[in-house]
Chains A and B, each alone.
Chain A
Amino acid sequence: MSEFVAQLTEWREAVLERLPPWWLRAAVAILIVIGILLPLAFTQTSGFIDATIRALAFVVMALGLNIVVGFAGLLDLGYVAFYALGAYSMGWFASGFFFKADVHVLTAALPTAQGIHLNFLLVLLAAALICAVAGALIGLPTLRLRGDYIAIVTLAFGEIIGTVAINGTDIHLPGGQTLTAGNLGIPAVDLPYFPGVGKFELLNLRAWYWLIFAILLLVLFVNIRLRDSRIGRAWVALREDEVAAISMGIPAVRTKLLAYAIGATFGGMSGAFLGAYYTTVNAGQFAFSFSIFVLAMIIVGGLGSIWGAVLGALLLSYINFYLIPDVLNSVPSSLGLDFSLTDLSFGIFGFLLVLVMVLRPQGLFPERRRTLELTQEVDRDQAMLKEPT
């Protein structure tokens, strides 16, 4: 792996020098076309496409977390909360879970089916809204905190949501309905259905791929627009020097909450998609390690860099969902060793993270601003805000 990282670095720098200024636009256009055509090169049930779908969902997550951690500099260790809320939105509003309800909106579910069955896009919207509100709420108690303390509070919220998800079987809503199905999982989540297009099938992964690819393009677009806007500048200014930023007229509270809310929105959208893709919403999915996994993606890619987040998320996802389980898993046994490589996933990720930190602490695809921060010592006297009261 170290060779790969070094090679990538070297290669990138050599190529960048020779490229014309419009190379990025051209590259993006080509990538989009390749992205659209990609699944046609594989079978409908290809394991690689399955891994790619999950990888793209994680890219969306990474882009969301990158806004909070990368742009605004708020270290959020509880990102799993929004995965959970997004996935539960799908579980609640597109399955037979609320069996006493009977709501059907633009869905392929039989009219006689119990539960709430909303159209996929409606649930996606609901998940985005729920997570935006939850993101801002979780952000509220962190506003007076800085650095590591933000991490501790968000970590706690992530754990709270995970625990509530597991114990949701004991939380009774009015009417005797439980909040979640705990570790059993909410089964048989509706497959997405688009009027005029048709219903998704589990044995045809192409539609799923195109769906998450479209969500990804949307999220990417929003990310880029926000980065190069008044809002994006305000986030970076707050990250760089909060005292100076608020003295320049940036409302710290609103701007930070906005970062939390938008970051959470993307996490929720991705979570909703994954809820539908896995067709089950199981409390066991929402572990702390998930938050770290997404954080590792944006650190490996380069904090604050959109393309870094994309690259980091793809890299770690492919390693996790494809390379380790599908390609290399049998390597130890073929060497006569009695374990499977999936048992070592976390060890491998830890090793990769250390490697990146040692060889390229700014990440694979660093934001130009971060590069400076890491190469020069930034002397910032934050004492002014630590005003004892």
Chain B
Amino acid sequence: MSSAEASPTTTTAPPRVPAIMRAEHVTKEFGGLVAVSDVSIDIPTRSIVSIIGPNGAGKTTLFNMLTGLYKPSAGRISLEDREITGKRPDIITSLGVARTFQNIRLFRAMTAVENVVVGRHARMRAGVWGSIIRPPGVRREERAARDRSREILEYVGLEHSQFDQLAGNLSYGDQRRVEIARALAADPTLLLLDEPTAGMNPQESDRLTDFMRKLRDDLDLTILLIEHDMRVVMGISERITVLDLGERIAEGPPAEIRENSRVIEAYLGKQDER
């Protein structure tokens, strides 16, 4: 709060580094309901960017457009200067975008390791004939995928004893870990995390915050997250986009967002309460 003065209007700062992903004026309508309206967002390479906003602001809808689950009604999305608007989710994943979900969506009846191996699908080649005949190349690929999956699970901090447990039987925290591991298995350059700290206590949130920074530094990742926990958001984000009722009402570094009157009104509460 000590830094810059509040910017009176929402300004789009010119990106200092090339954007890995850029959404321009994307809109999503469901029938008559406009869930996301004319939202633009730039995600600079190797940055950590947050999207915040009250419930129903359209954050997850925006996520679903960025990952291809929804086709935007209007607007344009590009990844590393390549247009990906309306491309299929599996294509976008193979181009280097991986995600987690707000309400954990693991393959509950598969083991932790199997979940992560599925995450590697886009990086594996074996087709029908390869799977049936299983030539040395396919065997090698399969073994490598399993080894890599175990490494990633270790990296996200899952205990070895949990590796071969069914995902549905894991604790909540471990399920979150496995979900991140599954996303990492796709070798993403951009990782989208939908409310990663949901349901965590402050200590766990802090640990996850540190972990996200480590992820970015270790793996050269760019991270885009939806988050409700203001401590996490303000602590980790380099830039923040604020959505309210489907519209972008602010964009900027945390210090600016904290002082933005529209954000405070729409999201953080009235000024005199603070």
A: residues with CB less than 8 A from B are 221-222, 225-226, 229-234, 236-237, 240-241, 243-252, 258, 262, 368-370, 372-373, 376, 378, 380-381, 384-385, 387-388
Contacts and interface: CB of A to CB of B under 8 A. Distances in A.
Contact of B122 (A249, A369, A388): A249
B90 A388 contact: no
B30 A387 contact: yes
13 contacts: A230-B124, A231-B131, A240-B109, A244-B105, A244-B106, A246-B88, A247-B69, A249-B89, A249-B90, A249-B122, A250-B121, A262-B128, A387-B70
Contacts of B142: 229-230
A229 B109 contact: no
A378 B108 contact: yes
Given A226-B131, A237-B121, A258-B128, 16 more contacts: A231-B127, A231-B128, A246-B90, A247-B99, A248-B183, A249-B93, A249-B119, A249-B122, A250-B90, A251-B88, A252-B90, A262-B128, A370-B109, A372-B168, A373-B109, A388-B30
Question: Considering residues A225, A244, A378, A380, which has the most beta carbons from chain B within 10 angstroms of its beta carbon?
Answer: A244
Looking at A234, A249, A387, the one whose CB has the most chain B CB atoms below 10 A away is A249
B129 to A, nearest CB: 10
Interface stretch (B9-17, B110-118, B202-210): B110-118
B82 interface: no
Contact of B121 (A234, A262, A380): A234
B110 A225 contact: no
Nearest to A371: B109
A245 B182 CA distance: 11
A222 B129 CA distance: 10
Given A222-B132, A262-B128, A372 B118 contact: no
Contacts of B138: 229
Most chain B CB neighbours (cut-off 10 Å) among A232, A236, A370: A236
B119 A248 contact: yes
Given A370-B109, A381-B103, A248 B122 contact: yes
Contacts of B105: 241, 243-244, 380
Contacts of A369: 109-110, 166
A247 B127 contact: no
Contacts of A241: 105-107
Contact of A249 (B101, B110, B168, B186): B186
CB-based closest 10 A-B pairs: A249-B122, A229-B131, A369-B109, A249-B93, A244-B105, A240-B107, A246-B89, A251-B90, A372-B109, A230-B126
A388 B61 CA distance: 13
A243 B69 CA distance: 8
A376 B170 CA distance: 13
B31 interface: yes
B246 to A, nearest CB: 16
A277 to B, nearest CB: 26
B131 A225 contact: yes
B50 interface: no
A237 B89 CA distance: 15
Contacts of A262: 128
B128 A248 contact: no
B36 to A, nearest CB: 13
Given A231-B126, A262-B128, A244 B89 contact: no
A376 B93 contact: no
B94 interface: yes
B162 interface: no
A252 B127 CA distance: 14
A233 B118 contact: yes
B67 interface: yes
A281 B248 CA distance: 67
A262 B106 CA distance: 27
Contacts of A237: 107, 110, 118, 121
A111 to B, nearest CB: 37
A246 B98 CA distance: 11
Contacts of A236: 107, 109-110
Contacts of B124: 230
B168 A378 contact: yes
Nearest to B126: A230
A246 B127 CA distance: 17
A219 to B, nearest CB: 11
Interface in B49-98: 64, 67, 69-70, 88-91, 93-94, 98
B93 A247 contact: yes
B134 interface: yes
Centre residue among A226, A231, A252 by max chain B CB count within 10 A: A231
A368 B107 CA distance: 13
Nearest to B93: A249
Contacts of B94: 249
Interface string B231-249: 0000000000000000000
A249 B127 CA distance: 14
Contact of B168 (A222, A250, A376, A381): A376
Contacts of B118: 233-234, 237, 245, 248, 250
Given A233-B117, A248-B186, A240 B110 contact: yes
Nearest to A373: B109
A249 B186 CA distance: 8
Interface in B117-160: 117-119, 121-124, 126-128, 130-134, 138, 142
A237 B186 CA distance: 15
A388 B35 CA distance: 12
Nearest to A230: B126
